Amino acid sequence: MTDVTASPSRIAGDPEEFQLAFEQAPIGIALVAPDGRFLWVNAALSRICGYPAAELLRLTFQDITHPEDLDADLAQVEEMIAGSITAYTMEKRYFHARGHEVPVQLDVSLVRAPDGSPRYFISHVQDITERRGTRDALASAHDALRASQQRFAALVERSTDIICIIDEQGCIAYHSPAAERLLGYLPGSWLGTPFTAVVHPEDQAGLNETFRRLVLDPTHTPLTEVRVTTADGDWRHVEIVATNRLSDPAVGGIVANVRDVTERSEAATRLAWQAFHDSLTGLPNRALLADRLGHAVERARRAGDLTALLFLDLDRFKLVNDSMGHEAGDLLLIEVAQRLQQAVRTGDSVARLGGDEFVVLVESVGETDEVSALAERIGDVVSAPIQLPQGMVTVTASIGIAYDSGRGPEHLLRDADTALYRAKDKGRNRYHVFTESLRTAALRRMTAEQELRDALEHGRLEVHYQPIVDLADGNVHAVEALLRIRTEDGGLELPGEYIEVADESGLIVPVGAAVLEMACAAMGTWRARYGDGGPHHVAVNVSARELASAGFTDRVLQALEGNDLVAADLVLEFTEATVIGADRPTLRAVDWLHQLGVGLSIDDFGTGYSSLAYLKRFPIRSVKLDRTFVGGLGVDPSDAEIVKAVITLGRSLGLEVVAEGIETLDQLRRLEELGCHFGQGFLLGHPVASTDLRFGGPVLPAFTRRPMA
């Protein structure tokens, strides 16, 4: 140290006291020369820097100051020397003797000589490691808080949900910007208004109640769906989840999270609509009709009115579908649906049950005449020509009408259906009103169907065989298989009505399959026992429905092969109606059977259609003259003429003619005279079980006694 300009002993009156105070001061104190050399240091400073005093006195403050803080320090020193400041305070870092940084706060003043030249600085140094730590911690805590607030704000502000705070009076105290985005209100315009102001009037009471409960019970977190209006006057569906935070001082309100669920809600509405409506015509479907019917019947009963149901079915709709395509069929149904809606009174419901079936529900009927008039009006509007892109079509409707009879709405639909069935039966394009006798008939049909189903399941179906006799020699030529139903109590039933209902219900398919199998099995047995001396073939009756059913030809083949038969051992009998109404797949099946060698026969010939053209187109082996003509022989001369004509026709077309229902010798004689080939009837043999049939020799002595032609 050169040129010491001052010594501490000269600074105070009592140098010792002064030195002691100086030495023991709790903060670091140094006297520093203008060039930076430490002139004097106290113990506290030695502690702060980690250097013993003697060592510090060989250093300058520059030596132990962090280089990054040095310029700032020197700049202050310069200013002080220049006189622009008299003291300065700064924070900077020292390097501790062990190498680590020590943050310090420096308070520096300058002592000048009487001539004003700088003599030395007095530096007060405080270690601020602790303070800085706290400050840094505070700063980072503050930063974290700010960040989290920002994050929260960003979430709230950017959320597609509206977040609202509602005060105890039910007014909006805060809402997130989504409110403006979603509902289109001007910023701030919603604030302070009751939160129900934008809620649909129908939903307000419910929401107020929810809110009231929530205020009373903070544990309650209800989920409510309401409609709210937008600034444009549209309605949106929103879902509200609310939490009571009234007692939370930071919130002081009800927090409501409002989410737009319009799309979801509309999808649900659409689904619900679809569940109760027919998607093609938009009319109510069966489910909705059932619901309305129930209510209508109840209302009408209270008021003492009648409820009527019109069950409507388009005649030959299938024809349009088949010939013009399903698209045309759909358009036709849509048009009919519209016409029906225009024809009914307001308040009456039109529903579509499916296919071409419609129902009109007529409420509070005063007079039944009104309903008949409506049925006629419907008949008229439906039968007016309909222009479709595929062409002009005209359809008619058959209508069944039923009135509520007090037995419940479900009966009404069934009764109307029964009446419709009757209207169709009577020739379509008309209406029929349900009566009790119709019900009895319907009931009988239902019982018959159940009985047949039961018999099929429990193996109570049997087949009896009636001989078809060669009228030339009186021998059994073939047999016809006829279905019999064995009742539970052992009785035997004829197939008549059973066949009808089985045909309607489709039950004829499994029943027919059973008959076919039994008939072929019996034929197999006769073949095995009698060889060519047995029946030439077994004839099995087949309905149109069976013939058109899937797998029919397979079943025939299986029955033949399974019983060691050839195709010629089997003849299938159909009615004329089956042949005339056959569609293309049915015709293909017929053709296939013919190619295979199965014989085809027309049953009940003469009762159906006058057109005989099909006889030429169809590969038929025989015709069976209906028994009504045979019954008329000797009674009605025109019957004899018909029989004669059919026999002549058969001859010219190469067809065998079988006369059915021969009951008397007189009939037999006349048929023989007319040259009929074959005959069948009670006179020649009743239908009997297969084991009761005898072959070989004439069935009647009359044949043997007859003079040979």
DSSP 65: B
Residues 441-500 that bind ligand C2E (CB under 6 A): 466, 482-483, 494-496, 499
Q: Is residue 535 near ligand C2E by the rule CB under 6 A?
A: no
Among 54-62, 64-72, 77-85, 655-663, which window interacts with ligand C2E (CB under 6 A)? 655-663
Q: Is residue 541 near Mg ion by the rule CB under 5 A?
A: yes
Structure tokens at 202: 């129908």
Check if the beta carbon of residue 508 is closer than 8 Å to that of residue 448: no
Relative to beta strand 253-260, strand 162-166 is antiparallel
Quick one: which of 470, 569, 603, 639 contacts Mg ion (CB under 5 A)?
603
Alpha carbons 383 and 343: distance in angstroms, whole number? 13
Residues 171-190 that bind ligand C2E (CB under 6 A): none
Range 202-230 burial, b when 16+ CB lie within 10 A, else e:
ebeeebeebbeebeeeeeeebebebbbbe
Structure tokens at 583: 């569609």
User: What, of Mg ion, ligand C2E, none, does residue 689 touch, CB below 5 to 8 Å by kind?
Assistant: none
In the sheet that holds 306-315, the strands lie side by side as 349-354, 357-365, 306-315, 396-403, 431-433
- Residue found under tokens 């619900």: 272
Give the nearest distance from C-beta 521 to ligand C2E in angstroms: 14
Nearer to Mg ion, 278 or 626 (CB): 626
Check if the beta carbon of residue 479 is closer than 8 Å to that of residue 467: yes
Structure tokens at 201: 């009037």
Quick one: which of 107, 239, 370, 663 contacts ligand C2E (CB under 6 A)?
663
Quick one: which of 400, 512, 599, 679 contacts ligand C2E (CB under 6 A)?
512
Alpha carbons 176 and 262: distance in angstroms, whole number? 19
Q: Is residue 515 near ligand C2E by the rule CB under 6 A?
A: yes
Alpha-helix residue ranges (DSSP H) falling in 217-357: 262-276, 286-303, 317-324, 326-343
Q: Is residue 609 near ligand C2E by the rule CB under 6 A?
A: no
Give the nearest distance from C-beta 625 to Mg ion in angstroms: 9
Structure tokens at 247: 């007692």
Residues 624-663 that bind Mg ion (CB under 5 A): 660
Q: How many residues bind to ligand C2E according to rule CB under 6 A?
A: 24
Give the nearest distance from C-beta 536 to ligand C2E in angstroms: 18
Q: Is residue 604 near Mg ion by the rule CB under 5 A?
A: yes
Q: Is residue 493 near Mg ion by the rule CB under 5 A?
A: no
Alpha carbons 454 and 510: distance in angstroms, whole number? 12
Residues 201-230 that bind ligand C2E (CB under 6 A): none
Structure tokens at 113: 């000589």
The interface mask with ligand C2E, positions 541-580, x = CB under 6 A, is xxx-----------------------------x-------
Give the nearest distance from C-beta 482 to Mg ion in angstroms: 7
Give the helix/strand (H/E) hosting 235: strand 235-245
Alpha carbons 292 and 288: distance in angstroms, whole number? 6
Q: Is residue 546 near Mg ion by the rule CB under 5 A?
A: no
What is the chain's percent helix, strand, coil content, to nearest 5? 45, 25, 30
User: What, of ligand C2E, Mg ion, none, does residue 467 touch, CB below 5 to 8 Å by kind?
Assistant: none
* Amino acid symbol at 588: R
Alpha-helix residue ranges (DSSP H) falling in 458-530: 496-505, 508-530
Quick one: which of 534, 535, 650, 687 contacts ligand C2E (CB under 6 A)?
687
Give the helix/strand (H/E) hosting 541: strand 538-541
Residues 573-592 that bind ligand C2E (CB under 6 A): 573
Burial of 68 (0-12, 13-18, 19+ CB in 10 A): exposed
For 438, residues 6+ apart whose C-beta sits below 8 A from its C-beta are 415, 418, 419, 422
Among 178-186, 411-419, 668-676, 677-685, which window interacts with ligand C2E (CB under 6 A)? 677-685
Q: Is residue 534 near ligand C2E by the rule CB under 6 A?
A: no
Give the nearest distance from C-beta 535 to Mg ion in angstroms: 15
Nearer to Mg ion, 546 or 573 (CB): 573
For 588, residues 6+ apart whose C-beta sits below 8 A from its C-beta are none
Give the nearest distance from C-beta 511 to ligand C2E in angstroms: 7
Q: Is residue 603 near ligand C2E by the rule CB under 6 A?
A: yes
Nearer to ligand C2E, 413 or 482 (CB): 482
User: What, of ligand C2E, Mg ion, none, does residue 125 touch, CB below 5 to 8 Å by kind?
Assistant: none
User: What, of ligand C2E, Mg ion, none, does residue 542 touch, CB below 5 to 8 Å by kind?
Assistant: ligand C2E
Among 228-236, 311-319, 361-369, 656-664, which window interacts with ligand C2E (CB under 6 A)? 656-664
Give the nearest distance from C-beta 558 to Mg ion in angstroms: 22
Give the nearest distance from C-beta 545 to ligand C2E in angstroms: 9
Give the nearest distance from C-beta 614 to ligand C2E in angstroms: 19
Alpha carbons 634 and 628: distance in angstroms, whole number? 12
Nearer to ligand C2E, 427 or 496 (CB): 496
Q: How many residues bind to Mg ion according to rule CB under 5 A?
A: 5
Give the nearest distance from C-beta 312 to ligand C2E in angstroms: 30
Q: Is residue 312 near ligand C2E by the rule CB under 6 A?
A: no
DSSP, residue by residue, 10-45: GTSSSHHHHHHHHHH-SSEEEEE-TTSBEEEE-HHH
Question: How large is the angle between the packed helices 552-562 and 584-596, nearest 10 degrees?
Answer: 20
* Amino acid symbol at 422: R
Nearer to ligand C2E, 423 or 539 (CB): 539
Q: Is residue 524 near ligand C2E by the rule CB under 6 A?
A: no
- Report the length, in residues, of the chain: 709
Alpha carbons 165 and 253: distance in angstroms, whole number? 6
C-beta neighbour count of 28 within 10 angstroms: 22
Q: Is residue 647 near ligand C2E by the rule CB under 6 A?
A: no
| Nearest Cα to Cα of residue 605 among 595, 618, 593 | 618
Nearer to ligand C2E, 402 or 481 (CB): 481
Relative to beta strand 386-388, strand 349-354 is unpaired
Nearer to Mg ion, 493 or 573 (CB): 573
Q: Is residue 578 near Mg ion by the rule CB under 5 A?
A: no
Give the nearest distance from C-beta 681 to ligand C2E in angstroms: 3
Q: Which residues pair with 397 in a beta bridge?
A: 314
Give the nearest distance from C-beta 541 to Mg ion in angstroms: 4
Q: Is residue 599 near ligand C2E by the rule CB under 6 A?
A: no
Give the nearest distance from C-beta 688 to ligand C2E in angstroms: 10
Alpha carbons 85 and 168: distance in angstroms, whole number? 60
Question: How large is the angle between the packed helices 286-303 and 262-276, nearest 10 degrees?
Answer: 70
User: What, of Mg ion, ligand C2E, none, does residue 534 touch, CB below 5 to 8 Å by kind?
Assistant: none
Nearer to Mg ion, 310 or 520 (CB): 520
User: What, of Mg ion, ligand C2E, none, does residue 687 touch, CB below 5 to 8 Å by kind?
Assistant: ligand C2E
For 381, residues 6+ apart whose C-beta sits below 8 A from its C-beta are 339, 340, 342, 343
Nearer to ligand C2E, 397 or 542 (CB): 542
Check if the beta carbon of residue 186 is closer than 8 Å to that of residue 197: no
Among 489-497, 565-573, 662-670, 697-705, which window interacts with Mg ion (CB under 5 A)? 565-573
Check if the beta carbon of residue 279 is closer than 8 Å to that of residue 337: no
Q: Is 572 left (phi over 0), alpha (psi -120 to 50) or beta?
A: beta
* Amino acid symbol at 685: G
Binding residues (CB under 5 A) for Mg ion: these are: 541, 573, 603-604, 660
Q: Where do contacts with ligand C2E occur on this chain (CB under 6 A)?
A: 466, 482-483, 494-496, 499, 512, 515, 541-543, 573, 603-604, 627, 660-663, 680-682, 687
